Amino acid sequence: MTQPSYPALRLRRTRAAAWSRALHRENVLTPADLIWPLFVTDSDEEEPIAALPGVSRWPVAGIAARAREAAALGIPCIALFPNTQAERRSAGGEEALNPDNLMCRAIRAIRDACGDGIGILTDVALDPYTSHGQDGLIDDAGYVLNDATVSVLVAQSLNQAAAGADIIAPSDMMDGRIGVIREALEREGHHNVQIMAYAAKYASAFYGPFRDAVGSRGLLKGDKKTYQMDPANGEEALREVALDLAEGADSVMVKPGLPYLDIVARVKARFEVPVFAYQVSGEYAMIEAAVAAGAGERDALVLETLMAFKRAGASGVLTYHAAQAARLLNG
Ligand code: PBG
């Protein structure tokens, strides 16, 4: 195609009026693009999280109200993360398998309140339950064991599915876990329970506030580099995604979000499957810090960053700004 040149071509022409900008807009962001991560606590009170200004841990009694709020705003799905009491954490993370753990009680409370009016996504990994803060079982040297961990993750997934989870989201980055979790879900009759694989999850410096929120920061010694990905790698992300899809993932996730938009775009272009992005805690904290410093306006920063995910090809975004964004989008 031959392009006309200036002055026949003036790209500013279609930008001149709001109606025209609306007409030519290539992507739209709606509340239905959002997944709202929520933290749950065993205490009776709402607990504000200092590292995430504006975000709290909610008691089980209060979590259903948040889910109802999400549904009313048009947010289709919430993601749950428990802050397990210290005395319930152990080297083996056994609390993850307790049918009455915080996660399962929260799932049931939301289901009772909302029926199937909202999707419940649950994180599969052991870090909220281990006394050492790693996502899996460790050997004497502190190395996270793959296959032994996967067996526990299967049991954890079945525990969450039995409590009523709609989407199982393994965030652990063990090899081979999607296939065996899918097999176990099928065997137990959970045919419609989805798997959203944290397929390309990087060993990132942006998870700090989250670890405060689930209470694992002080416990964690060392890092997660033997299982989470090297931020230098892109091709490897495509291999991770290919494996998780081949093992039966219904959708895949890239995490963190904005610093890894290139990965979102590559995954979408290569696989043409639903790709989600997680705008993680450190990204939320950066926006809030910018706002507090007078360096930007919250509403605009939130909507611009979320639209960036849509432009990159994401089907949706997990974001702690979900409720605020939905309110803005709903006018
Ligand atoms: C743990 C998990 C993490 C996040 C989600 N699940 C942290 C980690 O891997 O250490 C991070 C989310 C965020 O920072 O918002 N399995």
Mean pLDDT of 275-300: 98
Q: What distance in angstroms lies between residue 115's CA and the mean position of ligand 1's atoms?
A: 27
Q: What distance in angstroms lies between residue 207's CA and the mean position of ligand 1's atoms?
A: 6
pLDDT at 221: 86
Is 171 near ligand 1, meaning CB less than 6 Å away? yes
Angle value at C-alpha 121, between 159 and 152, nearest 5 degrees: 35
What Rg value do the Cα atoms of the chain yield, rounded? Answer: 20
Structural domains of the chain, ranges and CATH numbers in brackets: 29-329 (3.20.20.70)
Atom of ligand 1 nearest to the CA of 207: 14
Atom of ligand 1 nearest to the CA of 206: 14
Is 283 near ligand 1, meaning CB less than 6 Å away? no
Is 212 near ligand 1, meaning CB less than 6 Å away? no
> Which residue owns the Cα nearest ligand 1 atom 11?
207
Q: How many CB atoms lie within 10 A of CB 158?
A: 21
At 215-246, the pLDDT tens digits run 998 999 899 999 999 999 999 999 999 999 99
Q: Look up the pTM and report it.
A: 0.97
Separation of alpha carbons 310 and 326, rounded Å: 15
Angle value at C-alpha 221, between 219 and 225, nearest 5 degrees: 125
Q: Among residues of the chain, what percentage have pLDDT more than 90?
A: 98
Is 202 near ligand 1, meaning CB less than 6 Å away? no
Q: Is the pLDDT of residue 261 over 90?
A: yes
Q: What distance in angstroms lies between residue 19's CA and the mean position of ligand 1's atoms?
A: 41
pLDDT band at 2 (very low <50, low <70, confident <90, very high): confident
Is 287 near ligand 1, meaning CB less than 6 Å away? no
Q: In DSSP terms, which residues pair with 81 in a beta bridge?
A: 39
* Catalytic residue numbers, as ranges: 201, 255
At 23-73, the pLDDT tens digits run 999 999 999 999 999 999 999 999 999 999 999 999 999 999 999 999 999
pLDDT band at 156 (very low <50, low <70, confident <90, very high): very high
Q: CB–CB of 247/178 below 8 Å?
A: yes
Q: Is the pLDDT of residue 1 over 80?
A: no
Phi, psi of 206 (to 5 degrees): -90, 5
pLDDT at 150: 98
Is 216 near ligand 1, meaning CB less than 6 Å away? no
> Which residue owns the Cα nearest ligand 1 atom 6?
171
